[in-house]
């Protein structure tokens, strides 16, 4: 297995035995702390099932034999599609590469830029080599042309063809707001004639007008008129 041969060569100090797809250091420096070896000018191709997935580069790489992990500084990762064409590029200040499965973790000002200008920014990002996906469970921003999204988590392929987010907020293109967002007074309203913009109707649209029902009059019995008192003797005229 190329990775095992590569690791054995690194431990033995025989860097000349590395394959083309392995590590290409420009300078070997004295290991610091508990790292088994430190390389300057690190470059390595990551494959899965014989297909090239990415190229990992770093200014400095710290190798740890016991854990089969390499810590990277000032990382650049170039992803490839199934045809071998370069796609998105990841940059970060720090990173971790795992030799067992080719997975990676990037941290500290992580930026993923696709060829068509879509940009993902976050502070921590994971790459799964088996599923060829990038993901984060910390806040992120995603920009593309008129779109600007923020959210709590993000998962996608490196070229952003299948994106899954948690609680996205922002503007999703053509001035359309995501669900639950308040309108920006300065943003232009979407055109009702645009076929990509669904027509909306107010929730309180009145229905058919109905004639009002007649209100029955109350049944009131008129009060009886009082009878005139009988004439008294003083009221009788003399004959």
Per-residue confidence (pLDDT) for residue 133, from 0 to 100: 96
User: What is the C-alpha to C-alpha distance for residues 148 and 159, in angstroms, rounded to an integer?
Assistant: 17
User: What is the C-alpha to C-alpha distance for residues 199 and 179, in angstroms, rounded to an integer?
Assistant: 15
**Residue 77 forms beta bridges with which residues?**
56, 90
What is the model's pTM? 0.62
Q: What sign has the CA pseudo-torsion 196, 197, 201, 203?
A: positive
Per-residue confidence (pLDDT) for residue 7, from 0 to 100: 42
Each residue's pLDDT, cut to its tens digit, for the chain (239 residues) gives 333 334 444 443 333 333 344 555 544 444 456 889 999 999 999 999 889 999 999 999 999 999 999 999 999 999 999 888 999 999 999 999 999 999 999 999 999 999 999 999 999 999 999 999 999 999 999 999 888 999 999 999 999 999 998 888 988 665 444 554 444 445 444 444 444 433 333 434 444 444 445 555 555 455 555 555 555 554 555 54
User: What is the C-alpha to C-alpha distance for residues 88 and 205, in angstroms, rounded to an integer?
Assistant: 47
Which residues lie closer than 8 Å to 39 by C-beta, 6 or more apart? 23, 25, 27, 28, 29, 60, 61, 63
Instruction: Mention the CATH class of domain 2-180.
Output: mainly beta
In the numeric block, which tokens belong to residue 55?
């190229």
**DSSP labels, 82-117:** TTS-EEEEEEEEEEEEETTT--EEEEEEEEEE-TTS
User: What is the C-alpha to C-alpha distance for residues 218 and 171, in angstroms, rounded to an integer?
Assistant: 60
User: What is the C-alpha to C-alpha distance for residues 122 and 16, in angstroms, rounded to an integer?
Assistant: 38
């Amino acid at each position: 297995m190329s990775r095992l041969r590569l690791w054995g060569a690194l431990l033995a100090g025989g860097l000349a035995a590395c394959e083309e797809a392995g590590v290409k250091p420009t300078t070997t420096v004295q290991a610091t702390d508990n790292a088994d070896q430190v390389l300057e000018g690190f470059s390595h191709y990551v494959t899965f099932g014989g297909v090239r997935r990415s190229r990992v580069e770093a200014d400095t790489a710290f190798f740890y034999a016991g854990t089969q992990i390499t810590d990277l500084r000032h990382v650049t990762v170039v992803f490839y599609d199934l045809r071998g064409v370069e796609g998105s590029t990841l940059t970060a200040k720090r990173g971790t590469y795992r030799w067992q499965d080719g997975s990676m973790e990037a941290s500290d000002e992580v930026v993923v830029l696709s060829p068509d200008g879509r940009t993902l920014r976050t502070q921590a990002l994971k790459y799964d080599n088996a599923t060829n996906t990038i993901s984060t469970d910390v806040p992120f921003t995603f920009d593309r042309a008129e779109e600007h999204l923020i959210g709590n988590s993000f998962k996608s392929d490196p070229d952003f063809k299948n994106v899954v987010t948690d609680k996205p907020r922002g503007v999703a293109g053509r001035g359309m707001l995501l669900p639950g967002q308040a309108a920006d007074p300065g943003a232009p309203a979407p055109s009702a004639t645009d076929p990509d913009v669904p027509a909306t109707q107010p929730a309180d649209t009145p229905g058919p007008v109905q004639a009002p029902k007649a209100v029955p009059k109350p049944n009131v019995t008129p009060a009886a008129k009082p009878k005139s008192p009988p004439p008294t003797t003083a009221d009788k005229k003399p004959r």
